[in-house]
Amino acid sequence: MALDPFHDLWSHDQLRQRLEHELRKPQFEPACADGAWRRYRFPARKARLVSDAVVWVRDRGGLRSGLAAQQSEDERRQWLCDCPGVGLKTASWLLRNCGWAERLAILDVHVLRALAEAGVSEKRPSSARDYLEIERAYLQWAEQLDASPAELDLFLWDVQRAR
């Protein structure tokens, strides 16, 4: 049976306990050297973050209505960053991949590597300020190339993974 974390039957503690139980199970590949499936690291912490995020979303009436109430991409991202466990990269990824934003950067390794190789930025994000600074450089670069940020990201991912 699929686990539906947003179902009304779950209390915060019940959901956290069930998630932790699931996350402790060996369940994904690639297999370990001994052939056993891998487990998630820090299952108690992940379970707490997910259950806290579910409560946060519920308390705000759901993601769609919360995102729709925001006036801009930046406001939507900031709203999501208030959710437990969500930072700029995760919020940007969610918004762009769900169609809620077009001019946000997902500063993944392939984008950072390409920025460095192109001489645009050598920085790595270690704070929100760094992330936003690198994002501005990426968006300017995309504009100079006359490319949408999302299309450039896809192109860079394709080029970088072929290496």
- Using the 8-state DSSP alphabet, how is residue 5 labeled? T
The DSSP call for residue 71 is: S
- Using CA atoms, how far apart are residues 92 and 104, in angstroms rounded to an integer? 6
Closest residue by Cα to residue 134 from 92, 163, 84: 92
83: nearest Cα among 61, 52, 105: 52
Q: How many CB atoms lie within 10 A of CB 134?
A: 21
Q: Which residues are catalytic?
A: 89, 108
Q: What are the φ and ψ backbone dihedral angles of 68, each rounded to 5 degrees?
A: -65, -30
